């Protein structure tokens, strides 16, 4: 686990995180299933195309069956016609996938444990930003060894207003609280920045003693 750094980037101590993780042989599988579940559950599934029975109009036969020289037609709302219905079009559906609560917790802990080598732990810096200053937070990321061209996940214990306002203009920075921890953000980030209070909160909720 990385050492604890202060606002200036100086090492001021050590931290530890004890999580119950999946076996190495099944770790990739359970994290993948949790990721697919999260992405599927985020889908709205409300795409809808009307069939020939739902399109307005078309009740009258366009022309008589025989004698016109044209192909027979029973409705102007046939899928063959312009403005007609759609054959096998999308209909509202539920994409949700189920996963046991214990499995979800195990997948989350496994994903977090696998990213500890890319994590930076810093002391609570809310007091260092008495007012929103994107420039100061950007400079602090550099002192912590986080380059601006990398996608960074900043995990805090609580969303302080000044931290949120300072972070929202940094293009590659995603800010979440410890209770919003999720597999997608963990696996897609290049670098994790975790505050010490957030780490304590994660340990309290997901630690091996729970």
* pLDDT value for 123: 92
- Check whether residue 90 and residue 154 sit in a common domain: no
Of the residues 59, 94, 129, which one is the last residue of a structural domain?
Answer: 94
For residues 19-40, average pLDDT: 93
Spatial CB neighbours of 134, under 8 Å, sequence gap ≥ 6 = 166, 167, 169, 170
- The band of 1, judged by pLDDT with boundaries at 50, 70 and 90, is low
> Which residue reads 């919003």 in tokens?
180
- Check whether residue 132 and residue 195 sit in a common domain: yes
> Which residue reads 């810093």 in tokens?
122
- Check whether residue 115 and residue 19 sit in a common domain: yes
Of the residues 65, 94, 123, which one is the last residue of a structural domain?
Answer: 94
- Check whether residue 82 and residue 125 sit in a common domain: no
Distance separating alpha carbons of residues 27 and 124, to the nearest angstrom: 31
Q: Are 158 and 200 in contact (CB under 8 A)?
A: no
Q: Are 194 and 155 in contact (CB under 8 A)?
A: yes
- Check whether residue 156 and residue 182 sit in a common domain: yes
- Check whether residue 172 and residue 74 sit in a common domain: no
- Check whether residue 162 and residue 77 sit in a common domain: no
* pLDDT value for 3: 82
Total number of domains constituting the chain: 2
Q: Across all residues in the chain, what is the average pLDDT?
A: 91
For residues 122-148, average pLDDT: 90
- Check whether residue 58 and residue 113 sit in a common domain: no
Torsion of CA 121, 122, 123, 126, to 10 degrees: -130
| pLDDT 10s digits, 157-169 | 998 899 999 999 9
Residue 210 has pLDDT above 70, yes or no: no
Share of the chain above pLDDT 90, in %: 72
- Check whether residue 115 and residue 194 sit in a common domain: yes
Domain range for 22: 3-42+98-206
Q: List the one residue out of 129, 159, 157 whose CA is nearest residue 141.
A: 129
What is the CATH number for 192?
3.40.1370.10
- Check whether residue 127 and residue 25 sit in a common domain: yes
Torsion of CA 183, 120, 194, 23, to 10 degrees: 40
- Check whether residue 51 and residue 140 sit in a common domain: no
* pLDDT value for 11: 86
Give 97 or 148, the one with higher predicted confidence: 97
Residue 209 has pLDDT above 70, yes or no: no
| pTM (predicted TM-score) | 0.82
């Amino acid at each position: 686990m990385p050492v604890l750094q202060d606002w200036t980037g100086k090492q001021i101590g050590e931290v530890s995180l004890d999580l119950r993780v999946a076996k190495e042989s099944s770790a990739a599988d359970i994290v993948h299933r949790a990721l697919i579940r999260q992405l599927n559950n985020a889908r709205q599934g409300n795409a809808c195309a009307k069939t020939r029975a739902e399109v307005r109009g078309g009740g009258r036969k366009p022309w008589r069956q025989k004698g016109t020289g044209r192909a027979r037609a029973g409705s102007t709302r046939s899928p063959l016609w312009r403005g007609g219905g759609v054959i096998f079009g999308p209909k509202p559906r539920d994409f949700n996938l189920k996963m046991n609560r214990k499995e979800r917790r195990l997948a989350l802990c496994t994903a977090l444990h696998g990213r500890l080598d890319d994590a930076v732990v810093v002391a609570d810096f809310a007091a260092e930003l008495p007012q929103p200053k994107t420039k100061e937070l950007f400079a602090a990321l550099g002192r912590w060894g986080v380059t601006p061209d990398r996608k960074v996940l900043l995990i805090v214990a609580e969303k302080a207003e000044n931290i949120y306002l300072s972070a929202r203009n940094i293009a590659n920075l995603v800010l979440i609280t410890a209770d919003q921890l999720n597999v997608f953000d963990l696996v897609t980030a290049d670098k994790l920045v975790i505050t010490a209070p957030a780490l304590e909160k994660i340990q309290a909720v997901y630690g091996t003693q729970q």
